[in-house]
Each structure stands twice: as C-alpha cells, then as structure tokens.
Amino acid sequence: MAFELPPLPYAANALEPHMSANTFSFHHAKHHNAYVTNLNNLIKDTDLASKSLEEIIKAVAGDSAKAGVFNNAAQVWNHTFFWSSMKPGGGGKPSGDLLARIEKDLGGFDKFKEDFKNAAVTQFGSGWAWLVEEKGTLKITKTGNADTPMAHGQKALLTVDVWEHAYYLDYQNRRPDFVQAFLDHLANWDFAAANLKG
C-alpha cells in the first residue's frame, strides 16, 4: 500500500501570523508531498513496500546504497512529526512530568529555550532541532538534512524544521526570529508530553 500525504492537524491558516498559509501551501502541499511521492516510487515492487514508515527508516539507516529511500522516508516522518509539534496558541511552558524532566535533565526551562534555539540557529545548512529522550535522559540535538532521532536510538519529543523552505516566505533569512516564534507561539507541549509518555 502506497503512503499518502497526511492532512495537516489544523487549518493551513491556523498558525498565522507566525507561519502563513502561503508557507504551508509550499511546505506541506509541495515539499512534504514530494517526499511521499518519491518514497512510493523508490520502494515500489521492493521488499520495503510492505513495511511501515518507521520500519523502512530503521531498515535503511546508515546504508549508503539506500540513501534515497532513507532521505525521503525520514523526511515524510519528520514533516508529519513537525506539523504536530506545533498548534494554534502554542508556545509557553510545558507542565507536569515533562517540565520536571526538562528541569532535571536540561537545567531548567529558560536554559532549555536558550539551548534549543542555539541548536536550531547553529545547524549549518538544512536540518532539524529536536528535544529527544535517549536512555532515559532528555537531550537537545540537531540533525542535518533528513536525519532523524530514531536512526540514532533516540525518541523524538518535539522538533522544529530549519530548512530554509520552513521559514523563508515568512522570515526570509531571519532563522532566529522563526525559532523564537516557534518557542513563543507554536510549540505543542501537549504533543511532546504525550510522546514522552508513549
């Protein structure tokens, strides 16, 4: 069964003014959709065609002969995860167990914001910044291009896409402003808390 582009978890204009419907018309309808189409073409009539997206990513991670499959499968997963990492009226501060874990493992929520923003801003070229859990500890990481935490034994909790296509229409070259808006107005802490529990 071929993969399909999942719908956005909110209307395309629901995150305005922080992320515009115009950005979604390219980022979701064009970029994300292209990764789905490419992946389906690459796995057609292979033994990967019957596997789940997560199974495909883990099966081809680190295999240079399957880099095209990895890049497209991981980008399908990363983008679906990114849409859910945001919500209308998001941002602010997490609560409960997630906040306690951020305080214990990452030096407090203000330190988290500083370090997460730094990871996102200093990812050279295209990639992602992440809040992950690895061996029971929360960490902030960044990955290049399509790379994704599950390829490194980490559980993703929250992400921001820092490919230029994620912010250029709304922020041009101002990646720090985009990441600040993500933290202040978009981050979906309910999603992150559910991922930590799950």
- List, in order, residues 6 or more apart from 111 with CB less than 8 Å away: none
Which range, of 60-68, 133-141, 149-157, 159-167, touches Mn ion by CB under 5 A?
Answer: 159-167
Axis crossing angle, helix 67-84 with helix 33-43, rounded to the nearest 10: 140
The stretch among 60-68, 99-107, 131-139, 155-163 that binds Mn ion (CB under 5 A) is 155-163
Based on the shown chain and the rule CB under 5 A, indicate whether residue 161 belongs to the binding site for Mn ion. Answer: yes
Is residue 163 involved in binding Mn ion (CB under 5 A)?
Answer: yes
Q: Where are the beta strands (DSSP E) in 62-188?
A: 127-134, 137-144, 155-161
Going by C-alpha positions, the residue among 130, 121, 123, 110 that lies closest to residue 171 is 121
Residues in binding contact with Mn ion, number by CB under 5 A: 2
**Cβ nearer to Mn ion, comparing 161 with 170:** 161
Nearer to Mn ion, 147 or 161 (CB): 161
Shortest separation between residue 79's beta carbon and Mn ion, angstroms? 6
Binding residues for Mn ion, rule: CB under 5 A, are: 161, 163
